[in-house]
């Protein structure tokens, strides 16, 4: 599909809603189905797309998609329906189909800021960061006080290796949304890439402080621990990595980095335990099998080491990833429901 092209010279500046992942309306499924069935027979003049929104609000994405397809058969020029379907398809990780719907809707009217946020997010899913940058930049032009748009622009520019520009976007985010842990953490990542380790450490420490006594986000702990490990300060790094692993025990990256710290301290028994945890969570990552094999060999477990090296070679032969996934890293987009 060709890239989405829209004349935004007179784009509307609709107010974006709260971030979807932090505020979904929960409605009983039976009530939703009854309301949706009734609305199919008697569409509400106030909001003809209410049934689709109701399905969406209860995370019934296939039902919302199906309803909108049916609606568009008799209302092919409804931009609102095309844009809402585009959002539903984005939520279903169908980025190309989503962009097709935005292209159709744009033939009728220009998308507003919240709709363009989804367009940019589609391009993030496609790893097309240049076009994602284009649309997130447009959203910040239309709604310059939207902290989430600036945050997404920062994440996109980080992925483009434009670390100084990404840092500027995160700083703007923090002006608009003070004490935003993820923005401060990502600012630290930018500063690290800009070889400003001391300021990066301060950002990670600030993010940790903002989380308080019951932290939910392991990333600042993980990133500070990795930074300290890189600088050879293993005794300081280990407690942060331990905390990261306890906050996010299902994230293989936390176990890998804690294992690496233990390995550097020659604590091979603990390193083995952490690498085994990481391998169990990400069995198709060749680097983890290689590291576990090294630790087995250090402890004299040659058969176990040989098994891990063989698995590593087999995975590499299939061109699978050698990089440990970090599923909690906020690289994925956070678009909002129209």
Which strand (E) or helix (H) includes residue 99? helix 95-106
Residue 78 φ/ψ, nearest 5 degrees: -85, 100
Q: What is the pLDDT of residue 13?
A: 34
Name which of 47, 125, 115 is nearest 83 in CA terms: 115
Cα-trace Rg, the chain: 23
Q: What is the pLDDT of residue 325?
A: 74
Please tell me the distance from the alpha carbon of residue 176 to that of residue 52, in angstroms, as a whole number. Answer: 32
Q: pLDDT tens string for the chain (338 positions)?
A: 456 655 444 333 333 333 333 333 222 333 333 333 333 334 456 899 999 999 999 999 999 999 999 999 999 999 999 999 999 999 999 999 999 999 999 999 999 999 999 999 999 999 999 999 999 999 999 999 999 999 999 999 999 999 999 999 999 999 999 999 999 999 999 999 999 999 999 999 999 999 999 999 999 999 999 999 999 999 999 999 999 999 999 999 999 999 999 999 999 999 999 999 999 999 999 999 999 999 999 999 999 999 999 999 999 988 766 678 776 555 445 666 66
Please tell me the distance from the alpha carbon of residue 289 to that of residue 284, in angstroms, as a whole number. Answer: 9
Check if the beta carbon of residue 279 is closer than 8 Å to that of residue 295. Answer: no
Query: Is the torsion defined by CA of 83, 84, 89, 93 positive or negative?
Result: positive
Please tell me the distance from the alpha carbon of residue 225 to that of residue 257, in angstroms, as a whole number. Answer: 8
Name which of 47, 126, 49 is nearest 83 in CA terms: 49
Check if the beta carbon of residue 271 is closer than 8 Å to that of residue 255. Answer: no
How is residue 81 annotated by DSSP?
H
**Quick one: fold of 1-144?**
1.25.40
Q: Structure tokens of 294?
A: 């090294």
- In 3-state terms, what secondary structure has residue 328? coil
Please tell me the distance from the alpha carbon of residue 315 to that of residue 290, in angstroms, as a whole number. Answer: 11
How is residue 19 annotated by DSSP?
-
Check if the beta carbon of residue 146 is closer than 8 Å to that of residue 165. Answer: no
């Amino acid at each position: 599909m060709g890239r989405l092209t829209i004349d935004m010279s007179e784009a509307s500046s609709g107010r974006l809603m709260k971030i979807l992942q932090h505020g979904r309306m929960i409605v009983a499924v039976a009530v939703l189905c009854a309301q949706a069935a009734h609305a199919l027979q008697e569409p509400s003049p106030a909001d003809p797309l209410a049934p689709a929104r109701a399905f969406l609000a209860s995370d019934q994405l296939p039902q919302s998609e199906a309803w909108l397809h049916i609606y568009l058969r008799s209302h092919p020029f409804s931009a609102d329906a095309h844009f809402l379907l585009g959002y539903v398809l984005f939520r279903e990780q169908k980025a190309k189909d989503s962009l097709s719907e935005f292209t159709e809707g744009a033939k009728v009217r220009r998308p507003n800021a919240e709709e363009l946020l989804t367009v940019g997010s589609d391009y993030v899913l496609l790893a097309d960061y240049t076009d994602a940058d284009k649309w997130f930049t447009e959203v910040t032009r239309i709604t310059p006080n939207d902290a989430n748009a600036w945050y997404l622009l920062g994440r996109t520019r980080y992925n483009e290796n434009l670390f100084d520009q990404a840092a500027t976007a995160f700083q703007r985010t923090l002006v608009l949304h003070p004490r935003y842990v993820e923005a401060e953490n990502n600012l630290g990542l930018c500063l690290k890439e800009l070889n400003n380790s001391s300021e990066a450490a301060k950002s990670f420490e600030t993010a940790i402080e903002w989380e308080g006594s019951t932290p939910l986000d392991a990333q600042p702990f993980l990133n500070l621990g990795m930074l300290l490990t890189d600088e050879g300060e293993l005794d300081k790094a280990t407690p942060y990595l331990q905390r990261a692993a306890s906050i996010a025990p299902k994230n293989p990256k936390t176990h890998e980095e804690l294992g690496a710290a233990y390995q550097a301290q020659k604590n091979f028994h603990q390193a083995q335990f952490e690498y085994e945890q990481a391998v169990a969570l990400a069995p198709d990552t060749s680097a983890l099998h290689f590291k576990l094999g090294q630790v087995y060999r250090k402890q004299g477990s040659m058969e176990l080491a040989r098994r891990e090296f063989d698995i590593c070679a087999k995975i590499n032969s299939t061109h699978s990833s050698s990089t440990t996934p970090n599923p909690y890293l906020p690289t994925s987009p956070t678009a909002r429901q129209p």
